Structure 1
């Protein structure tokens, strides 16, 4: 496989890092992958490699405030920055991918970014995969009360929590890798928190307007994005071609979880079905 790294300029000329992985054989399609909060594109290496192995060109970038991209860790001024960055990235990808079928995959926060993006710019995307999207992110009542206030007073105020990788996966090798990954962070800000709250509310109100083919995947042992609300959200999605896959013993990162073979089997099969239409 061929790997390329580079940068592009997002909203407000923010310099954002990306990587592209191209299979050695003729590609079937191109996939844009959007990572979750505190993560970075390289943190999804297992997922990127599996997609490349199955003849997809894969593009992934570090969200602003994450990884090797610029910005205060875990901060956005407004949600439009995430949407605009992704749209600029998509335009670059499409200019390089010779009209191949385009798919979008988002995990956790990246799942919310991808879902909201498809409400606005979904035309031309062959299918969307949402992996444990932060639709059902657990938030304390006091946090829900304080976030809107703090987002107006000090939106870039940083709060760093202790990491607990066992919430993400049971795989000891993956936990070790996550713990040693210096590009990961556990920092949040009121600006991001408020943007996420508003966007999730918008998605819940307008779920019926998400009409492109969709695959929703999540683990039933996920304590970060509990499955009950994800099931409810799936019910209201307007797509006539939607599939939900649940995994009994998996946590927040099913692509890095023990028994992930089934997760990947379902993902690749779904992509192949979309290509056959």
Structure 2
């Protein structure tokens, strides 16, 4: 894994590349709210084994990137940062099919990217994406945002995942910020009323039926607005929010790799 920096819309972004000299495709990871790409090491290694070179960056205000913690005032600019990461990697990996993999809030960012740049993507994978609506936005009704950080127990049935999350100094453990919630609300409304993803982009949506952090019904309301004929979905019984960290993560990653291989074979 190689760490590097690039200029984002609000300062320097901490980026990573998991190299693969013989890569046949480019996987772009887009992480969720309050976390960072360092939590995706095992995901990246699986994708490298499956023939990918893997890239991504911590969002502004997240992980090792610059900015006030978890403060995002415009998610369109975060989408533009994802494009900067892809462009920076493109000089070395030009011509490789690009698969965008977004988790949670990263799923919404990925969908918005696909709405703006469908021609740049070969496929997209959405892991428990925030789409349609999200109950965290209800916090905007309060005059002062309550201190209600994400409960680590909602992430996985594996208690070690929650414990590692709670102990990670690069994870945000504080309350939501009003500006970020407003920007997220605007992002979801923009996605809902912009163009659907169309029939040419293969999309795989993965969700756990015991996900209480991003409820499947809320996401479905969003996916129904944007899905095209190339849209597939898979529900994992008993799984919570972080499918890549669940007790059946090997099954989930196998399904992701199988989907990508099917798409690449069809090309």
TM-score (norm 1): 0.88
CA RMSD, Structure 1 to Structure 2 (Å): 2.0
The CA deviation string for residues 141-178 of structure 1, in whole angstroms up to 9 with x for no partner, is 4x34458xx9xxxxxxx875345211001112322322
Aligned residue for 1:27, secondary structure, equals coil
Please give the residue correspondences for 1:18-33 in structure 2 after superposition, counting only pairs within 5 Å: 18-23=15-20, 26-33=22-29
Contact conserved, 1:118 with 1:210, CA < 8 A, in 2?
no
The aligned residue for residue 16 of structure 1 is 13
Structure 1 residue 231: Cα displacement: 2.6
* Equivalent of residue 207 in structure 2, options 218, 228, 238: 218
Aligned residue number for residue 113 of structure 2: 117
> Are 1:107 and 2:103 an aligned pair?
yes
Question: Of 158, 174, 179, which residue of structure 2 is paired with 1:171?
Answer: 158
- Paired with 2:146 and 2:51, the residues of 1 have a C-alpha distance of 40
Q: Specify the SS of the correspondent of 1:216.
A: strand
- Note the C-alpha offset of 1:237: 2.6
Q: CA deviation at 1:117?
A: 1.3
Alignment of 1:190-229 (within 5 A): 190-206=178-194, 208-211=196-199, 212-229=201-218
Rounded to whole Å, the distance in 2 between the matches of 1:40 and 1:162 is: 16
Task: From the superposition, tell whether residues 174 and 273 of structure 1 become closer, same or farther in structure 2 (CA, over 3 Å).
Answer: same
Q: Does the alignment pair 1:235 with 2:224? A: yes
Which has the larger displacement, 177-186 or 249-258?
177-186
1:210-237, CA deviations, whole angstroms, 9 ceiling, x for partnerless residues?
5421111111110011111223333333
User: 1:261 corresponds to which residue?
Assistant: 250
Question: 2:261 matched to which residue of 1?
Answer: 272
Q: Map Cα deviations across residues 38-85 of structure 1 (whole Å, 9 max, x no partner).
A: 100101222112111212100021000000000011112322220221
Give ranges in structure 2 of 5+ residues lacking alignment: none
1:8-31 residue CA offsets vs partner (Å, 9 max, x unmatched): 00115x10001100236x212011
Question: How many residues are treated as equivalent by the alignment?
Answer: 263
Change (3 A) 1:191 1:97: same
Using a 3 Å threshold, how does the CA distance of structure 1 residues 67 and 140 change in structure 2: closer, same or farther? Answer: closer
Give me the whole-angstrom Cα distance separating, in 2, the residues matched to 1:165 and 1:190.
21
Please give the alpha-carbon distance, in whole angstroms, between the structure 2 residues aligned to 1:140 and 1:110.
Answer: 16
1:208–1:236 contact (8 Å) kept in structure 2: yes
Q: Take 1:140 and 1:124, find their aligned partners in 2: how far apart are those partners? A: 31
**Within 2, Cα distance between the matches of 1:266 and 1:84?**
29
CA distance in 1, matches of 2:226, 2:80: 23
Given that residues 56 and 85 in structure 2 are in contact (C-alpha distance below 8 angstroms), is that contact kept between their aligned partners in structure 1?
no
Conserved in 1, the CA contact under 8 Å of 2:118 and 2:197?
Answer: no
Instruction: State the distance in 1 between where 2:146 and 2:142 align.
Output: 13
Shift of 1:140: 6.1
CA–CA separation in structure 2 for the residues paired with 1:37 and 1:23: 28
Q: Which runs of 5+ in 1 are unaligned?
A: 151-157
Contact 2:244–2:253 (8 Å) recurs in 1? yes
- Structure 2 residue 23 is the aligned partner of structure 1 residue 34: no
TM-score using structure 2 length: 0.91
